[in-house]
Structure formats: structure tokens, C-alpha cells
Amino acid sequence: MKIVIATFNEGKFREFKDLFSNSSFEILSLKVFTTQDIDETGRSYEENAMIKAQKASELSNYPSLGDDSGLEVKLLNNDPGLFSARYSGKNATDETNIKKLLKETKNLENTKAKFVSTLAFYDPQKDLELFSFGELEGEIIKEKKGDKGFGYDPIFKIKNSSQTLAEVSFKERMKISHRAKSSQEMLKHLNRLYK
């Protein structure tokens, strides 16, 4: 069965391609069907993920998987949270988002944080909706370390590790990341329903 990943983010797509590589599902990029961005108008990770999945299904006529992820810093009331990708404004980049977050956390004693991933699967033929969730705990450090990954990875130190998410290998990342955890849970659901 073919599943469209509702993202234009190359880093995310690469992760999904790897995470689903040993499954019976063929992963397709949304870029094959459109260049039209999907507006995230939801008020929760779940809503945004399902909006993406349903829109991707509408554009492709295939079952689709939408991901909404965020970085939550406990003492910043879980910001940047839902707005992680646009934290520094409408034209945000990884660099401007990191710069803003480092400024916001500079005087915090406790910078505990977690990455969260919510996946939504939508099958238009069955009108089926599924969700899965994953988290990775850690903390925000004072300066960037590592050059792997994307987003906030260089300033996110993994709990019980000396490394940031940008320092671990791709193989290791695919075992421990929030997206890996939500994908593993989703695969269990899909394998049960689509034998």
C-alpha cells in the first residue's frame, strides 16, 4: 500500500522513508502531487497533523500521514510548542528560531524540554483516522553542538546523554527520536489493519 507523507520538509521525509523502509508500505512524497503548502490552522498537534493528512489525501487520492511536531520548554509554558517552526516569525528559519530560543532560555536555571511528535493517518477510502504519539526528553543548552539533523536539534541535549540530537548518528536518531517513537506506534496500528 502507498502512503503519502504530508510534508515538504526534506529532513522529516528522509526520516519517514527510513522508519518505514522495512514495512510493507511504500512511502511517497507530497511533492509528487503538489507544491501547494498546507496551512496549519489547528489548535493542537492532533488537529494540525490530521489537517495535513486529509489535505494530502485529497490532493493525491492515497492514504496519507501527517506529522505535527514541536519543542516544548517547560519553564516557557511549553513554548515554542505548536509554533515551533514559526517561533521567530512568519519567515522563520532554523537559525532565527534557535537564536530566539537561546535568548528566551538564557536566564533560566532549568531548561528541561521535550520534543513531541503527533502522527495522524487518514485513509479516504475507509474514512479511517488514526493517531500516534512520541516524545524525547532533554534540555536546551547554551550554544549549538553538532551538525546533523535540523531544526532545534543542535541545542537539544538528550536526557541521560552528553550529546545533542544534532550529534547522534542518523541510525541512532531513528531509534530514539520522538518521530521514531510515534512512527513505530503508527506502524503497529497499520500492520494490524492492513495485512
- Span 119-155, pLDDT tens digits: 999 999 999 999 999 999 999 999 999 999 889 999 9
Cβ distance 126 to 62 under 8 Å?
no
What CATH class has 2-193? alpha beta
Please report the pLDDT score of residue 126 as a whole number.
Answer: 95
Whole-number percent of the chain with pLDDT over 70 = 100
**Where exactly are the structural domains of the chain?**
2-193
150 is in an annotated binding site: yes
Specify the pairing of strand 26-29 against strand 112-123.
unpaired
The model's pTM is 0.92
7 is in an annotated binding site: yes
Q: Assess whether pLDDT exceeds 90 at residue 40.
A: no
- Is residue 68 part of the annotated active site? The answer reads yes
What are the two backbone dihedrals, phi and then psi, of residue 145, each rounded to the nearest 5 degrees? -140, 125
Quick: pLDDT tens for 98-121: 999 999 999 999 999 999 999 999
From the list 67, 68, 79, 123, the catalytic residue is 68
Residue 148 sits at the vertex; the CA angle it makes with 147 and 153, to the nearest 5 degrees, is: 90
Please report the pLDDT score of residue 172 as a whole number.
Answer: 95
Omega before residue 63 within 30° of 0, cis:
no
Band the pLDDT of 11: cuts 50, 70, 90: confident
Residue partners of 19: CB distance under 8 A and separation at least 6: 174, 179, 180, 183, 184, 187
194 is in an annotated binding site: no
What are the two backbone dihedrals, phi and then psi, of residue 92, each rounded to the nearest 5 degrees? -60, 150
Residue partners of 62: CB distance under 8 A and separation at least 6: 2, 3, 4, 28, 56
Cβ distance 124 to 63 under 8 Å?
yes
- Segment 11-27 mean pLDDT: 93
Name the residue among 95, 96, 70, 73 with its Cα closest to residue 83. Answer: 70
DSSP secondary structure string for all residues of 115-147: EEEEEEEEETTTTEEEEEEEEEEEEE-SS---S
Helices (H), 32-169: 45-60, 94-105
